Amino acid sequence: MIETLACIDAPHFCCGIVLWDDKVIEAAPIVGYMKKQKWTRDRVRTYCAEKGWKVSVVNETHRAKT
């Protein structure tokens, strides 16, 4: 399992999202729809690029499945 913490930097806000195996599992309220709709990493990247937002990986951890 891969846990990824990413930062979304937009002109009017900056927030974080957490992905597990490339699926959004936690998101700041301003992008809560990403969690609710279980967006993939690729969908987040594409959407943010279309909006002109920057997405950066802050940390990535490989975890053993439990």
pLDDT tens for the 66 residues of the chain, in order: 999 999 999 999 999 999 999 999 999 999 999 999 999 999 999 999 999 999 999 999 998 876
- How many residues are there in the chain? 66
Q: Which two tokens stand for residue 52?
A: 């002109």
Strand partners, 7: 16, 56
The overall pTM is greater than 0.85: yes
pLDDT at residue 64 in the model:
82
